[in-house]
Amino acid sequence: MRKTPELVAAAISAAYTAWVASTSRASTTHATGESFERAAARFLARRGYTVLAHNWRCPGGEIDLVARDGDTLVFVEVRARSSRAGYLPEETIGRAKVRRLALAGEAYLQSCGWQGPCRFDVVAIAIQDAGPNIRLIADAFQL
Protein backbone atom coordinates (compact mmCIF):
# COMPACT_ATOMS: atom_id res chain seq x y z
CA MET A 1 0.00 0.00 0.00
CA ARG A 2 1.44 3.35 -1.04
CA LYS A 3 1.65 6.00 1.65
CA THR A 4 -0.07 9.10 0.33
CA PRO A 5 0.42 12.59 1.78
CA GLU A 6 -3.15 12.32 3.06
CA LEU A 7 -2.36 9.12 5.02
CA VAL A 8 0.74 10.69 6.53
CA ALA A 9 -1.19 13.85 7.41
CA ALA A 10 -3.93 11.72 8.98
CA ALA A 11 -1.37 9.79 11.05
CA ILE A 12 0.26 13.00 12.27
CA SER A 13 -3.17 14.46 13.03
CA ALA A 14 -4.06 11.34 15.04
CA ALA A 15 -0.80 11.64 16.97
CA TYR A 16 -1.56 15.30 17.60
CA THR A 17 -5.05 14.44 18.85
CA ALA A 18 -3.58 11.80 21.16
CA TRP A 19 -1.05 14.32 22.44
CA VAL A 20 -3.71 16.94 23.16
CA ALA A 21 -5.84 14.36 24.96
CA SER A 22 -2.94 13.19 27.08
CA THR A 23 -1.41 16.47 28.21
CA SER A 24 -3.07 16.10 31.61
CA ARG A 25 -2.66 12.32 31.95
CA ALA A 26 0.84 11.01 32.58
CA SER A 27 -0.33 7.40 32.16
CA THR A 28 -0.82 7.92 28.42
CA THR A 29 2.52 9.62 27.78
CA HIS A 30 4.06 6.38 26.55
CA ALA A 31 1.13 5.72 24.20
CA THR A 32 1.36 9.26 22.86
CA GLY A 33 5.07 8.84 22.22
CA GLU A 34 4.35 5.63 20.36
CA SER A 35 1.78 7.47 18.23
CA PHE A 36 4.37 10.05 17.24
CA GLU A 37 6.90 7.29 16.52
CA ARG A 38 4.42 5.52 14.23
CA ALA A 39 3.76 8.82 12.44
CA ALA A 40 7.51 9.37 12.11
CA ALA A 41 7.94 5.86 10.66
CA ARG A 42 5.32 6.61 8.00
CA PHE A 43 6.95 9.98 7.34
CA LEU A 44 10.32 8.28 6.78
CA ALA A 45 8.81 5.57 4.58
CA ARG A 46 7.44 8.28 2.29
CA ARG A 47 11.00 9.53 1.92
CA GLY A 48 12.31 6.13 0.89
CA TYR A 49 13.54 4.84 4.24
CA THR A 50 12.88 1.22 5.18
CA VAL A 51 12.02 0.96 8.87
CA LEU A 52 13.63 -2.14 10.40
CA ALA A 53 12.78 -1.78 14.09
CA HIS A 54 10.61 0.25 16.46
CA ASN A 55 11.70 0.94 20.05
CA TRP A 56 14.78 -1.26 19.91
CA ARG A 57 15.99 -1.72 23.49
CA CYS A 58 19.18 -2.84 25.13
CA PRO A 59 20.65 -2.42 28.63
CA GLY A 60 22.28 0.87 27.58
CA GLY A 61 19.21 2.56 26.18
CA GLU A 62 16.58 2.62 23.46
CA ILE A 63 16.45 3.62 19.82
CA ASP A 64 13.06 4.92 18.69
CA LEU A 65 13.44 3.74 15.08
CA VAL A 66 16.10 1.84 13.17
CA ALA A 67 15.90 2.26 9.40
CA ARG A 68 17.79 1.94 6.15
CA ASP A 69 18.27 4.90 3.85
CA GLY A 70 19.85 3.37 0.77
CA ASP A 71 23.01 1.64 1.94
CA THR A 72 23.11 3.52 5.26
CA LEU A 73 21.76 2.23 8.57
CA VAL A 74 19.99 5.06 10.38
CA PHE A 75 19.22 5.36 14.08
CA VAL A 76 16.29 7.76 14.48
CA GLU A 77 15.33 9.73 17.56
CA VAL A 78 11.76 11.08 17.50
CA ARG A 79 11.02 14.26 19.44
CA ALA A 80 7.69 16.09 19.71
CA ARG A 81 7.01 19.32 21.56
CA SER A 82 4.41 22.03 21.60
CA SER A 83 5.40 25.16 19.70
CA ARG A 84 4.42 26.98 22.91
CA ALA A 85 7.28 25.29 24.75
CA GLY A 86 9.67 28.02 23.63
CA TYR A 87 12.21 25.62 22.13
CA LEU A 88 12.46 23.21 19.24
CA PRO A 89 11.90 19.49 19.75
CA GLU A 90 15.47 18.64 18.74
CA GLU A 91 16.84 21.02 21.37
CA THR A 92 15.77 18.51 24.04
CA ILE A 93 18.52 16.09 22.98
CA GLY A 94 21.37 16.71 25.36
CA ARG A 95 24.81 15.16 25.74
CA ALA A 96 23.56 12.42 28.05
CA LYS A 97 20.90 11.38 25.51
CA VAL A 98 23.47 11.40 22.68
CA ARG A 99 25.70 9.18 24.82
CA ARG A 100 22.83 6.72 25.46
CA LEU A 101 21.94 6.70 21.77
CA ALA A 102 25.56 5.99 20.88
CA LEU A 103 25.68 3.05 23.32
CA ALA A 104 22.40 1.68 22.01
CA GLY A 105 23.60 2.16 18.44
CA GLU A 106 26.78 0.21 19.18
CA ALA A 107 24.75 -2.57 20.78
CA TYR A 108 22.47 -2.72 17.74
CA LEU A 109 25.46 -2.90 15.38
CA GLN A 110 26.96 -5.75 17.41
CA SER A 111 23.65 -7.62 17.50
CA CYS A 112 23.14 -7.55 13.74
CA GLY A 113 26.74 -7.49 12.50
CA TRP A 114 26.25 -4.39 10.33
CA GLN A 115 29.53 -3.25 8.76
CA GLY A 116 28.30 -0.44 6.48
CA PRO A 117 27.84 3.28 7.08
CA CYS A 118 25.46 4.51 9.75
CA ARG A 119 24.20 7.82 11.10
CA PHE A 120 21.81 9.40 13.59
CA ASP A 121 18.74 11.29 12.32
CA VAL A 122 16.09 13.18 14.25
CA VAL A 123 12.43 13.48 13.35
CA ALA A 124 11.21 16.65 15.04
CA ILE A 125 7.46 17.19 15.43
CA ALA A 126 6.38 20.68 16.46
CA ILE A 127 2.80 20.75 17.71
CA GLN A 128 1.20 23.98 16.54
CA ASP A 129 -2.32 25.37 16.86
CA ALA A 130 -2.91 24.61 13.17
CA GLY A 131 -1.64 21.04 13.63
CA PRO A 132 1.71 19.30 13.73
CA ASN A 133 4.74 20.24 11.64
CA ILE A 134 7.15 17.34 11.05
CA ARG A 135 10.78 17.74 9.95
CA LEU A 136 13.67 15.40 9.25
CA ILE A 137 17.14 16.35 10.45
CA ALA A 138 19.46 13.92 8.68
CA ASP A 139 22.84 13.26 10.25
CA ALA A 140 21.72 15.30 13.27
CA PHE A 141 24.86 14.75 15.34
CA GLN A 142 28.31 13.22 15.11
CA LEU A 143 29.91 10.94 17.68
Over residues 77-121, the pLDDT tens digits come to: 999 988 777 888 899 999 999 999 999 999 999 999 999 999 999
User: What burial letters (b/e) apply to 30-53, b meaning 16+ CB within 10 Å?
Assistant: eebbbbbbbbbbbbbeeeebebee
pLDDT at 48 over 90: yes
Q: Looking at residue 27, what is its pLDDT? A: 52
Q: What is this structure's pTM?
A: 0.78
Domain range 5-137, CATH architecture = 3-Layer(aba) Sandwich (3.40)
Whole-angstrom Cα distance, residue 142 to residue 17? 34
What's the whole-number average pLDDT of the chain?
Answer: 85
Residue of higher predicted confidence among 8 and 45? 45
Q: Looking at residue 13, what is its pLDDT? A: 67
Q: Looking at residue 44, what is its pLDDT? A: 97
Positive or negative: CA dihedral 126, 132, 133, 135: positive
Contacts of 74 (CB under 8 A, 6+ apart): 49, 66, 67, 68, 118, 119, 120, 121
